[in-house]
Amino acid sequence: MNLAACSPEIGGASEDMFGKWSGPSLSDLLGEKLSRNDMVQITFADDEVLSGTYVVSRDGDLKLPYLPPVRAQGRSTNEVETALADALVAAEFYTSRPRLAVRITDFASVSVSIDVVGAVFEPHAVEIGGTTGDAMDTGRQQALGASTDERNLSTAIRAAGVVRPDADLSAVELHRQRSVYLLDLRGVFNGSDPTDIMMLTGDRIVVNSRMCFQDELMRSSPISPPGVSMFLSNLTQPVTSNAISAIGHRPSAIGHRPSAIGHRPRRARDALRDAFHASGDRQQLRRRLEDFERQSQRGTILAQPGHRHLGGDRAQYRRSPA
């Protein structure tokens, strides 16, 4: 995969726009949108009976007493206010549109599907968003209104294991209801355009692949991996904790292209005999692990093709199954 020619970017070479679309306007995606299980406070200027706290039902509607269901899924609070006022006039509760306000008091978690063919490390349906009461300070609990970044597109991609190095960020597909949006996330990756969108229950994301390894994606970003965690021991005798071994965050949080040196399990006095060095990465497109095996004076050394090897006078290429 490292030597394969990249397929053209679906979104083209330009990064001028956050999103590209076919059909509906991108403006339909921006701003805070309601989803099922969200909690809202509805206040009428002159009606205490209808004023109160409501939860968006699982079918995406708000259900007020004496009124037919009002659609809330995918709408902003302003759009819900207009729909409620029209429903009250149509039901002859008012002769003209009443004054009312809709405010979000709590964002619920949403279920988003990351397509199984997408170029992410762990494609599966993810649940994002939602904040428990004990995680919120008292002032925010008492305040009217709510806001969250935990339901954003970038959060959903991180929950699916972040993008792989072969991902085509120029045209990430968002399937919402019957519309398909093509979103250019290159600006989100490099920080030039932090625009993000809020996910709704039932959304489906497809991250296309360019069928090649892209070095420029091998760095930390809101939608790429921060590095690799490793579990190490620097002692020849078993211990009961990492603290005793002097293994903390710094030696265990390794950046991309990780490397490790260690010893095969042996008796303590022979611990230095079978030393080895390992460096490797799973080839996601080919579904197998590729590495080199080298023999050194002290033992076996494993290294990824193209990396610098430590010692050894002969090498044997080995391909192991995933």
Which pLDDT does position 302 carry in this prediction? 40
The segment(s) of the chain belonging to CATH 3.30.1950.10 are 39-106
Which pLDDT does position 167 carry in this prediction? 92
**Residue 155: strand, helix, or coil:** helix
The segment(s) of the chain belonging to CATH 3.10.560.10 are 19-27+108-131+147-217
Closest CA to 103 of 42, 32, 35: 42
CATH 3.10.560.10, domain 19-27+108-131+147-217, yes or no: yes
Q: Per-residue pLDDT for 319 more than 50?
A: no
Q: Per-residue pLDDT for 99 more than 60?
A: yes
Token digits of residue 238: 């078993």
pLDDT in tens, 135-188: 555 655 556 666 677 888 999 999 888 899 999 998 899 998 888 888 888 888
The mean pLDDT of 116-123, rounded to a whole number, is 78
* Neighbour-count burial of 164, counting CB atoms closer than 10 A to its CB (0-12 exposed, 13-18 middle, 19+ buried): buried
* Spatial contact of 27 and 68, defined as CB atoms under 8 Å apart: no
**Residue 277: strand, helix, or coil:** strand
Q: Per-residue pLDDT for 304 more than 80?
A: no
Token digits of residue 188: 């989100």
* Neighbour-count burial of 110, counting CB atoms closer than 10 A to its CB (0-12 exposed, 13-18 middle, 19+ buried): buried
Q: Per-residue pLDDT for 309 more than 80?
A: no
What are all long-range contacts of 76-83, with beta carbons under 8 Å and residues at least 24 apart? Answer: 76/31, 76/32, 76/33, 76/34, 77/32, 77/34, 77/40, 77/102, 77/103, 77/104, 78/102, 80/34, 80/40
pLDDT band at 3 (very low <50, low <70, confident <90, very high): low
What radius of gyration do the chain's Cα atoms show?
27
The phi and psi torsions of 59 (rounded to 5 degrees) equal -90, 5
- Note if the pTM is more than 0.85: no
Q: How far is it, in rounded angstroms, from Cα 155 to Cα 128?
A: 7
Which pLDDT does position 64 carry in this prediction? 93
pLDDT in tens, 239-298: 666 566 555 555 555 555 444 545 444 444 454 455 444 444 444 444 444 443 344 344
Q: How far is it, in rounded angstroms, from Cα 185 to Cα 118?
A: 15
Q: How far is CA 158 from CA 124, 127, 161, in A?
A: 12, 11, 5
pLDDT band at 68 (very low <50, low <70, confident <90, very high): very high
Q: Which CATH architecture has domain 39-106?
A: 2-Layer Sandwich (3.30)
